[in-house]
Structure formats: C-alpha cells, structure tokens
Structure 1
C-alpha cells in the first residue's frame, strides 16, 4: 500500500523542513499498525517541490520523513520527487514515476497496490501506474476530485479498511 505524505499521513505544513512540526493525522498510527499486522508492505510517495524551489533542502525533507517513521513506524519504501511542477519530470504526481518505482522496489504488481492520498494528483498517479486509488478528502480537495475518485473514505483508518476489504482481507 502506498501513501501520500502531507495531509494523508501527517498534517500539511507547506514546505516543511522542520521535523518537530510533524503531526500525524488522527488514526494514522492505528491504521498503519493494522496493515503491518496483516503483512502489508508500505510505501510513501511524496511531491516535495520546495526542494527545487529552494525552500528546503533534500536533507531537511529526509529529516521530516525520518520523523514520520519515528512517529508512525517504519515504511518499506520512500519515494520523493524534488521537482517543481514545470520541470517536466516523470516522477511528480500525477505522473506515475514514483509509484512505479515504489511498486518495483516492493516487489509487487501495480494492480495489487492501493494508493491513498488526499488530492486528484494522487488518484491520477494511481491510475497512470495501474494501482487502485482511495481518496481521503481534506479542506483543499476539490469537489471535482472527490467526484472523479475511484473510491473515497472519510479518514485514513476508513481508507485502510476499505482497501483491505477490496483485497478480501478481514
């Protein structure tokens, strides 16, 4: 299972380079523990354009990622796109590059993988990579993104339960 980082696993602090500001969303630790109990491999795929924009360094972004793992437990794979929207890279969501890399590194098939995120770019990347998508809307999620999402859950624990049920797990 793959997760967006900001506003999906942790509260979004724009261009955050400070680990002490990391705050998990409600229910995140419980949801991830449920997945680990079921033997689900976990990955994070996160756009971090603040690196390209000079607002934080890659080292600062990795320190924030380390704090996420400290608070929420280990992830099997981390993928981070440092590019700005206009750079034309293949990794920045909604393009599928990070998801395809994560799936390959996890040794699973994209069709067996669920991507959970909070905006349309997450769902677009999931579709482009051949993964299933579950949207967890926040205050920044556009109504059209909710309408277009293949599946929607009210919160992260609900998204995890929905994903597990669609895989035939209890």
Structure 2
C-alpha cells in the first residue's frame, strides 16, 4: 500500500483498509465501507493539517504533533511521518512525539529514522516521558494484553536516554 497517498486531500480512506484474500484471489475490504461523511471528515482533517504545515513552513517555524494513547497513536504517527516525507525535504518542519514510558519507544524511533533515511527527508522528533500511564495500564489489564508501559521510572529514564542517543 502506498502510504504517501494518505496525506493527499483527495485520498479515499476506505482504500487503506483492504487486504489480499487468498480464497477470492483479490483485494477485499478489511472493514465495512466508511460512510461518505467519515471520508469527508478524514479529507477535512488532512486538508487542515496540510494548511497548518504549509503555514509553518512559510513562517519558518516547526510544528510538533503531540502523542496520544497507544490505541490512537499508530494513526497519528503514520500521518505525521507522511507529513514529514512531504514537508521535511530541506529541514525538519514536522515533528512527531515519542513517549519514552512505552516499552517500544526505541523501536518506533529507530523504525521511523530508517524510513527518513530511505526516503531522504529530515526526521523531526520530540521525546517525552509520557502522560497516560494509569489509563494505559488499566486498559491493558481490562482487555488482557501486555502492559505497554515501562515497569519503573528508572526504566522510562533509561528508555528516554537510549532513544535520545539513537536520535543523535
């Protein structure tokens, strides 16, 4: 799937949710069709984000996209990384936020750094310790999946420093 299309204001989000079906020998919808209203809301969000980033670029300022809970973050990070690819050609304008209280923070940064190198754009990174510890732990326990949070403050600090070193 060509993810770079996701920052195109005419992109159809429902095109993203298709997977190959070996049984049918073709691409099939992973989820039911998104409504026209949902597609419009997505395009409006992308249009607004492009407007914000273009304005930041014109004013020679940075734009930092904040991090949210782990169940929202993959979509936010994907869009932010594609915005980096589109706008960070000459210098870093768009920055993604990486929460170092998460066990996979270093892996996320390393993966995104590699993509920036491969696609030849400047990587914009804001490191934070994190803000949703209690919510994330409670959700993991309630839904029965592994706790995504580092077990101690010291482990979070270690992750922060290792991730910072990777960025440098």
TM-score range, shorter chain: under 0.3
TM-score, normalised on structure 1? Answer: 0.26
Structure showing greater radius of gyration is 2
Higher helix share: 2
TM score, norm. by length of structure 2: 0.26
